[in-house]
Structure formats: C-alpha cells, structure tokens
C-alpha cells in the first residue's frame, strides 16, 4: 500500500480540524482497498459475517448519503443499497464491483464536502428521523469520524486476512 494520505494539521480551528481528520479517515479506507481485485475486495471475513472491504465502502457511501444529504441537506432521496434502512445490507457486496462501490462512495463524499462547505457554521442543523431530533453539522462530522475510525479497524483485519498487508 502506498500512503498518499494528507496528515491532519496539528493546529487549526475546529472546522478545519474536523474536515481534515474526516478526509484522512476517508483516505484510509481507500488505501486499505488499494491494489486488490474485485474478488479480493469481496472476500468475507469469516462465516456467518458478510463483512467485506467492498461492503465497507458501500456501507460508508450509505452513511455519507444519510448524514450529509438526507439529514443536513434535507434531501428526500432513497438509500442506494439499504431499501429498508438497514445499513448492514450494504455489507453483502457479493455481486458488487470496485467501480460500482467506489463510484457511489466518491460521489457521496463529494456531495458531503459540498454540503459541509456551503453550511455557514457547524451549528447548522438537520432532522435525524431515527433519533427524532435535530442534530448539528458538528455532531454529523464527529459521528462520521467515529464510523470511519471503527470501520477502518475492520478494514485492517480484512486486508491482513487477504494478503497479509498491515499498517496505518
């Protein structure tokens, strides 16, 4: 794996720091998938789990779509793979390809970046239906950091099981 990630700044304002750490975590997921075939990206961790690297990419596309477009952007759009709102469905990437998953994920990341950049502050809110409450953009960015960090840990183990590659 080549590590082309841009390290987050050590000193910055809150928004720039959140933005940089989120982009770093996004780049980490992409790096974990680098150089693998579609077949390798679809390799399951262990039965009965359907967790795969490709499934993680699909899952994070759904997460980005939900929190930035549906919650903060108030867009009335369906999820891509999780028709009934069960994000775990996206993990089952048996028939998926790198191109399909990464195109969807990259598109959602670009939408998320645009929504975040256009927001006047981290205090902008959107309605989170599952929680039945308004949430701030700040919370959304922190939640995404948590999601990526947790799933990048899964990606570490998946990648090691595929070809023995380990690393940040």
Give the domain extent around 133: 14-163
The verdict on residue 3 lying in a domain is no
Structural tokens at position 66? 């939900």
User: Residue 133's beta-bridge partner residues?
Assistant: 128
The verdict on residue 6 lying in a domain is no
Give the pLDDT of the chain (168 residues) as one tens digit per residue.
Answer: 678 888 898 999 999 999 999 999 999 999 999 999 999 999 998 878 889 999 999 999 999 999 999 999 999 999 888 776 666 665 667 888 999 999 999 999 999 999 999 999 999 999 999 899 999 999 999 999 999 999 999 999 999 999 988 876
Number of domains comprising the chain: 1
Distance CA 97, CA 75 (A): 27
Element (H, E) at 136: strand 133-136
The verdict on residue 2 lying in a domain is no
CATH of the domain at 131: 1.20.120.450
pTM for the full predicted model: 0.92
Distance CA 149, CA 63 (A): 13
* Full DSSP string of 40-99: HHT--SSTT----HHHHHHHHHHHHIIIIIIIIS------SS-TTS-GGGGG--TT--HH
């Amino acid at each position: 794996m080549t590590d082309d990630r841009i390290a987050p700044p050590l000193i910055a304002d809150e928004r720039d720091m959140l933005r940089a750490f989120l982009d770093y975590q996004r780049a980490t997921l992409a790096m974990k998938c680098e150089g693998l075939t579609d077949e390798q990206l679809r390799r399951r961790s262990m039965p009965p789990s359907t967790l795969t690297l490709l499934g993680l990419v699909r899952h994070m596309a759904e997460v980005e779509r939900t929190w930035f477009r549906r919650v903060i952007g108030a867009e009335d759009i369906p999820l891509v793979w999780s028709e009934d709102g069960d994000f775990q469905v996206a993990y089952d990437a048996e028939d998926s390809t790198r191109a399909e998953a990464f195109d969807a994920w990259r598109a959602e990341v670009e939408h998320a970046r645009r929504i975040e950049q256009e927001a006047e502050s981290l205090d902008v809110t959107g309605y989170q239906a599952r929680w039945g409450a308004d949430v701030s953009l700040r919370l959304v960015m922190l939640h995404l950091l948590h999601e990526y960090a947790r799933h990048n840990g899964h990606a570490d183990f998946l990648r090691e099981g595929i070809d023995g590659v380990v690393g940040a």
